[in-house]
Chain A
Amino acid sequence: QKEVEQNSGPLSVPEGAIASLNCTYSDRGSQSFFWYRQYSGKSPELIMSIYSNGDKEDGRFTAQLNKASQYVSLLIRDSQPSDSATYLCAVTGGYNFNKFYFGSGTKLNVKP
């Protein structure tokens, strides 16, 4: 079992819709969770971080964390074609918090 699991997609949504990206993790001790966006041929860039159960909103983005279910999600409201990218979920190791685990990423396509 991988430490972080994501649906590889592609997830296709029409422009203006809500895109929902999901991530599950296996280490119950994980404390820090991150969402990164990676455009083709580019390096990942931070979208959001979340550390506590519940929702965290930043503009069109909302991260949701449920530690009991070991689940973290990212919602993108009013999706734009420029949101088309691969979204990576990253989680700290519970035992070794110097170590991070990245999911394989979900490819999002926003259709005009």
Chain B
Amino acid sequence: EADIYQTPRYLVIGTGKKITLECSQTMGHDKMYWYQQDPGMELHLIHYSYGVNSTEKGDLSSESTVSRIRTEHFPLTLESARPSHTSQYLCASFGLHFYFGPGTRLTVT
């Protein structure tokens, strides 16, 4: 069964805070992705990885960083949250196709 998890599901945080959005998958997929999506809008690729110790910036890095120390884990970190970071963040892995996590809805006040 395909499982990809994201925590937290909802987060409200003040400006300037450092936050880490967690993403884990149990399928052993090498390729993992972070997307940002505002309500009713398109997906924007933030970062992606095609294996341990490999990460690439997408079209919208949004002042965030990622790490890939283990195959199953791909966390996204915002060093200093800003109101412009308010959005839905979707993590995905790719095997035969994309599997998306449930998302983290982030609000920065």
Contact in complex: A98, B98 (CB < 8 Å)? no
Count of residues in B whose CB is under 8 Å from the partner chain: 21
Q: Which of B24-58 contact A (CB under 8 A)?
A: 31, 33, 35, 39-43, 45, 48, 50, 56
Known contacts A34-B98, A43-B102, A49-B96, A100 near B33 by CB under 8 Å: yes
Please tell me if A60 contacts chain B, counting CB pairs below 8 Å: no
Contact in complex: A49, B48 (CB < 8 Å)? no
Please tell me if B81 contacts chain A, counting CB pairs below 8 Å: no
Q: Which of A55-102 contact B (CB under 8 A)?
A: 86, 88, 90, 98-100, 102
Contact in complex: B97, A46 (CB < 8 Å)? yes
Contact in complex: B43, A88 (CB < 8 Å)? yes
Contact in complex: A44, B98 (CB < 8 Å)? yes
Known contacts A43-B90, A49-B96, A102 near B43 by CB under 8 Å: yes
A residues at B contact (CB < 8 Å): 34, 36, 40-41, 43-46, 49, 86, 88, 90, 98-100, 102-105
26 contacts between A and B (CB under 8 A): A34-B97, A34-B98, A41-B39, A43-B100, A43-B101, A43-B102, A43-B103, A44-B90, A44-B98, A44-B100, A45-B100, A46-B98, A49-B96, A49-B97, A86-B40, A98-B48, A98-B50, A98-B56, A99-B45, A99-B48, A100-B33, A100-B94, A100-B98, A102-B35, A102-B42, A105-B42
